[in-house]
Amino acid sequence: MGEDCQLLSRVRDTVLGGATAERCIASVTEWNKWKDDEDWVLLAQGGAQTLTHQDSCGKDSWLTVQEGSLGFGWMSRPTEEERRTWSACPNGFTKGKLRYVILEPGQTIYFEAGTIHFVFRVI
């Protein structure tokens, strides 16, 4: 929820709020369309990165690169012990096998719910 994660929300506010200081007149339906997008769209500028994490929605995911280069990394075949240790302290975890791939526009990667992963935008 940090400032680096608010780019899509700021685009939405600009589009729906218009370029004036007047009260926003966008309909609830228009706002709800953006709410759905915010649940599944990843928008990041060059140099942005995440820590290792598991997505909270509990669903399998696909990432398709639209523009630029995107790095996707994951913990390869973690043991149950590695999962428990990572869960106890994700930011301090230094074991396991981390792998990554650089995706270019038009390429898609699929990963299952529960995959420990990280994402970064290549500068």
Q: Per-residue pLDDT tens for 52-87?
A: 999 877 788 888 898 889 999 999 999 999 999 999
Over residues 101-110, the mean pLDDT reads: 95
Residue 107 pLDDT = 96
What residue segments make up the domains of the chain, in order of their start? 1-41, 46-123
Q: What are phi and psi of 110, to 5 degrees?
A: -115, 140
The rounded Cα 86 to chain-centroid distance in angstroms is 19
Contacts of 106 (CB under 8 A, 6+ apart): 64, 65
- Using pLDDT thresholds of 50, 70 and 90, give the confidence band for residue 32: confident
What are 84-88's contacts with CB under 8 Å, separation 24+? 86/52, 86/116
**Rounded to whole angstroms, how far apart are CA atoms 19 and 68?**
28
pLDDT digits (tens, 9 = 90+) for 36-53: 666 666 667 778 888 899
Instruction: Tell me the CB-side half-sphere exposure of residue 56, using CA atoms within 13 A.
Output: 1
Could you tell me whether strands 117-121 and 108-111 are parallel, antiparallel, or unpaired per DSSP bridges? unpaired
